[in-house]
Structures are given as structure tokens and as C-alpha cells.
Amino acid sequence: MIRSVVRGFGAALPKQVVTNADLESRVDTSDEWIVQRTGIRQRYIAGEGETTASLGEAAARAALDNAGLTAADLDLIILATSTPDNTFPATAVNIQNRLGMHHGAAFDVQAVCSGFIFGVTTADAYIRGGLAKRVLVIGAETFSRLLDWTDRTTCVLFGDGAGAIILEAQEGTGSNSDRGVLTTQLRSDGAHREKLYVDGGPSTTGTVGHLRMEGREVFKHAVGMITDVIEAAFAATGTTADDLDWLVPHQANRRIIDGSAKKLGIPLEKVVVTVDLHGNTSAASIPLALNVAASDGRIKKGDLVLLEAMGGGFTWGSVLLRW
Ligand code: ACO
């Protein structure tokens, strides 16, 4: 049985750090409010010349270095983003070109904060279906460019960045002790569109638009949706919370992360949290968190790692993999 095994990982952040104190001079907010409601202490914001493609390229190069590979060894690039450099061509193709790769294929997937889960799921399907052997999956975002910087209810929550992993086809036994992706679970429901969306687009306003969010409504749905896809991952593999080494959640809000872990009986020592450092970087948040925890030695080869996310759409999903 073919498995999609993590061969390498990497990440990239913009140069500029913006603290909560920095935001106090822009909008009517406070470090205390932001930390207490979200756990965010700082975020990175893209400056001149930094774009989704440039951050994605840097994360991709770091993942290739980590894997000991070059772009010549890849056959597919999947970029999860909701903040492309241009409406088209796909930013993945831009990154492919920046990497000097002119073979294979590259495309974007768009599932907002669940984008990386959707990207890994797509890569895993290509690999298990025999259509690709090595897939670079990137989550890269520049949400700062979609924010209404006069709206304190949203502008304090988000940041920019990129993370990437390389998945490689390897023969497995089909058991849970195999390294690689063990199960993926995807969901979406467009009935929730108005709760988190961008009020512009090429086919409606002809503008880029700004992010709009009913934060309390999103919060109300988040824990239930996250629990749904985590329980589905456990059911599909016959595993339980006790089997997990690490939960690496989408980093939107500390309270959502803690609430989901508590409901599932996952001790907080097993949860990777980077929302304090990065803010909510949408599709980039999970690979950024993976990069931190795998680089500092917490996530080790053979560990059972659960990824989950929920975001605009709504979309939500999980990936259970053995690192
Ligand atoms: N600074 C100070 N006060 C603020 C700020 C701010 N930045 N933002 C809002 N407030 C005020 C509000 O105006 C309100 O004041 P009022 O009572 O006088 O009207 C008060 O704080 C409480 O506002 P709420 O919106 O009720 O605050 P809540 O406790 O719900 O926290 C938050 C808001 C943090 C947005 C929370 O609802 C949340 O985390 N929601 C989920 C959002 C999320 O995770 N989104 C991302 C998931 S999807 C994706 O990642 C794209």
C-alpha cells in the first residue's frame, strides 16, 4: 500500500514583526484585550517586495533543503492560499517558475484557513493514486493585504507567512504503524458564507475587498466542527486521543485550541501552539507550527500527529499522519 510520507519541512516569515503594542497606535485596542481573547502577542506583516509567492518560495526552498532534494525531484506543487499574488495565473505556477521547475504541474487550492488540510489531502490522493511521487505542499498567505486596518475586530487577529512540507510515495503495510498520512477528512458548508468572507472579488465588485468576520459566530461553530473531523479521523483509523503524540491545530485563537483539546481529552502538553508568535496566518498556520515543533525536536520521526483546521466557507478538516 502506498503512503504519503513527510520527507521535509520548512517555513518563512516576513521581516517585520508587529506587536500588540504597535497596534495600539493604529486602532482602539490593547495588548491585554488581544492576549486575553486570542492568545496572540505578535504577528509578522509582509513589507515591500514580500508577497505570497516570495514567502511561499522561501518556505519551499527551506523544505527542499531539509529533504536534501531539489525542484528537479518534484512532480507536483500544490499551494494553499486565499491571498494569491494575482487573480491568475495560480501563484503555485509563479513559485514553480521561481524554483526553476518547468516540468510537472502546479496549482492553487483555496479553502481559507483549512487550505493546508485540503492541500495535503489532494497531494495524498495524487500519491496514493499513482499520479505523483513527490509533492510539495505549501501554505502561504499575506492576509495583511486583505485586512481593513480601521476595523479592530479583525485587524489584530491575522498575520503573514508561509510553510511547506514535501510528501513522498513510500510503500507501507497499511497499518497505523506506517509512516505517512493515515487518513484525511474534509468538510465544507456554504450556508455559513456570510460569517467569514471577503467583500470583493473579480466577478462581483472588481476589487480585492476586505475580510469581514462575525467573530462570535465563527467561535460558536469552531469547536464542534473541529471535534467532528477529529473524531472522524479516530474512527477511520481505530485510534484514540491517547495514541496521539501531537495535535497541531490551525492557529486562530488560543481559546478555540484549548476548548477543542479539552473536549477531545487531549492534554495541552501535546498541543503545538504558535498563535502567540504568528497570529492567524490562515493556510500557512499549520505548516508554520509544524516547522517550529519539528525544528525544536518536539515532533520526531514516527510520532502520531493530528492536524486540524476550520475556516471561511465554512471549510474544516483533519489529517492524521505518522511523521
Ligand atoms: N480591541 C479591543 N476591544 C475589541 C477589539 C479589539 N481588537 N475587538 C472587539 N472589541 C470589543 C468589541 O467591540 C466588543 O465591545 P462591546 O462589548 O462594547 O460591543 C467586545 O470587545 C467584545 O467583542 P466580541 O466580538 O464579543 O469578543 P469575543 O470575546 O467574541 O472575541 C474574537 C472576539 C477574538 C474575534 C472571537 O470572537 C474569536 O476568536 N472568534 C473566532 C474568530 C476566529 O478564530 N476566526 C478565524 C477562524 S477562520 C480563519 O482562520 C479565517
Q: What is the pLDDT of residue 97?
A: 98
Q: What is the pLDDT of residue 189?
A: 97
Residues 60 and 137 occupy one common structural domain = yes
Selection from 9, 14, 5 nearest residue 290 by Cα: 9
Question: What ipTM score was computed for the predicted complex, to two decimals?
Answer: 0.93
Residues 163 and 204 occupy one common structural domain = no
- End residue of a domain, out of 171, 196, 213: 171
Is residue 113 annotated as part of the catalytic site, yes or no? Answer: yes
Selection from 11, 9, 2 nearest residue 133 by Cα: 2
Is residue 20 annotated as part of the catalytic site, yes or no? Answer: no
Specify the CATH number for the domain of residue 198: 3.40.47.10
Residue type, 199: D
C-alpha cell at 321: 499522519
Report, as ranges of residue numbers, the positions in the chain whose pLDDT lies below 70: none
Residues 231 and 129 occupy one common structural domain = no
Q: What is the pLDDT of residue 60?
A: 99
Note the residue count of the chain.
Answer: 323
CA of 139 to the centre of ligand 1 (A): 25
Residues 132 and 199 occupy one common structural domain = no
Query: Which residue lies with its CA nearest to atom 29 of ligand 1?
Result: 37
Q: What is the pLDDT of residue 244?
A: 98
- Domain housing 249: 180-322
Number of domains composing the chain = 2
Task: Note the helical H segments in 129-253.
Answer: 152-155, 215-237
Residues 186 and 302 occupy one common structural domain = yes
Is residue 280 annotated as part of the catalytic site, yes or no? Answer: yes
Query: Which residue lies with its CA nearest to atom 11 of ligand 1?
Result: 153
C-alpha cell at 50: 514580500
What is the C-alpha separation between 292 and 246, in angstroms, rounded?
Answer: 13
- End residue of a domain, out of 171, 197, 215: 171
Residues 88 and 118 occupy one common structural domain = yes
C-alpha cell at 175: 497499518
CA of 38 to the centre of ligand 1 (A): 8
Q: Which of 66, 94, 192, 250 is catalytic?
A: 250
CA of 195 to the centre of ligand 1 (A): 13
pLDDT digits (tens, 9 = 90+) for 22-52: 999 999 999 999 999 999 999 999 999 999 9
Residues 273 and 140 occupy one common structural domain = no
Residues 124 and 84 occupy one common structural domain = yes
Residues 167 and 184 occupy one common structural domain = no
pLDDT digits (tens, 9 = 90+) for 189-219: 999 999 999 999 999 999 999 999 999 999 9
Q: Which of 20, 94, 253, 280 is catalytic?
A: 280
Residues 214 and 153 occupy one common structural domain = no
Q: Residue 267: what are its φ and ψ, rounded to 5°?
A: -60, 145
Edge-first strand listing for the sheet containing 246-249: 180-188, 315-322, 304-311, 246-249
Cβ of 198 below 6 Å from ligand 1: no
Q: Which atom of ligand 1 is nearest to the CA of 216?
A: 37
What is the C-alpha separation between 147 and 149, in angstroms, rounded?
Answer: 6
Cβ of 211 below 6 Å from ligand 1: no
Residues 190 and 261 occupy one common structural domain = yes
Q: Is 104 left (phi over 0), alpha (psi -120 to 50) or beta?
A: left
Cβ of 102 below 6 Å from ligand 1: no
| pTM, full prediction | 0.97
Cβ of 20 below 6 Å from ligand 1: no
Query: Which residue lies with its CA nearest to atom 40 of ligand 1?
Result: 215
Residues 153 and 189 occupy one common structural domain = no
Cβ of 64 below 6 Å from ligand 1: no
What is the C-alpha separation between 6 and 309, in angstroms, rounded?
Answer: 19
- End residue of a domain, out of 115, 136, 171: 171
Beta bridge partners of 271: 247
Q: Which of 20, 66, 113, 192 is catalytic?
A: 113
Residue type, 171: E
Kindly write down the DSSP assignment for every residue of 6-58, as one continuous string. Answer: EEEEEEE--SEEEEHHHHHTTSS--HHHHHHHH---EEEE--TT--HHHHHHH
What's the Rg (C-alpha) of the chain?
18
Query: Which residue lies with its CA nearest to atom 10 of ligand 1?
Result: 153
- Angle at the Cα of 150 from the Cα atoms of 149 and 153, rounded to 5 degrees: 90
